[in-house]
Amino acid sequence: MTSDTGTFLIGGDLAVRRLGFGAMHLSAAPGPERAASLAVARRAVELGVTLIDTAHLYGGGANEELLAEALHPYPDGLLVTTKVGVVRSPETGEWGYDSRPAALREQVDHALRRLRVERIELLQLHRIDPETPLADQIGTLAELRTEGKIGRIGLSEVTVAELAAAREVTAIASVQNRYNLLDREHEPVLDACEAAGIAFLPWRPVAWGGAGATAEVAAVAAEAGATPTQVMLAWLLARSPVVLPIPGTSRVAHLEENVAAADVRLTPSQRDRLDRLAATA
């Protein structure tokens, strides 16, 4: 549900600004890199970002701890969403899917501790575990929501059929799939989310294709008085009212460029030219 052009109500009641921030690129390594990451996270909030995306996968929880160090106690209106379902094997050190009910419960408890909260307002299943029945995975998250540990449930990298199956178990508030101007493989999923009023968080929202596509984006950017990155983000915001891009960066200057994309307005002609790029990228 959209309240206006700049905000979206996730799950129908949780208001966030539509242009968020993906924390994946923030380094948690000690020293200058960590200090720079803390500065970027804090600057994002200063710029008015109210949706920050992280995951257990990002550093095995180190990214979540970094955000807590930077931002806790969290300001009113800030949503830090995280993801579970991908874990590292203690035996092999390899990452893999694990969404068995007991494993999900343990992962959520760890996320609550790292983020220093009693409830995660939006928790997303990072990937569907092919070895565990979908109803068990979604059902466990629904139980955790009933218990008050989760506010809303989201999915990541799902098909239209998987989204529909999950919604038969419980309400789904968000979907996070790979999607950008030049990579529209999951367009049917976005359309399904729009029809149902489900937030669609495109990861990798900025990407470059062939020379022709790059030239067209650069041309539109010159006309709009914006950067190519801002044009790609502005296109996403114009694509559908349910789209909540989460561009990530480890540099303050790049963050400021991304956030300013919310003020870029593309003309119908420019949007039409950009729409046609998917076929040529």
Tell me the C-alpha distance between 205 and 226, whole Å. 17
Q: Would you state the structure tokens that stand for residue 35, as one six-digit string? A: 């200090």
Q: In the 8-state DSSP scheme, what is residue 126?
A: S
The answer to whether the CB of 108 falls within 8 A of the CB of 144 is yes
- Paired strand residues for 16: 8
Tell me the C-alpha distance between 56 and 33, whole Å. 20
- Paired strand residues for 83: 124
DSSP H or E run through 257: helix 252-260
DSSP strand pairing (174-176 vs 199-200)? parallel
Cα dist from 197 to 131, 147, 178, 185, whole Å: 30, 25, 19, 20
Q: Which residues are catalytic?
A: 58
Q: Would you state the structure tokens that stand for residue 30, as one six-digit string? A: 């000690």
The answer to whether the CB of 138 falls within 8 A of the CB of 128 is no
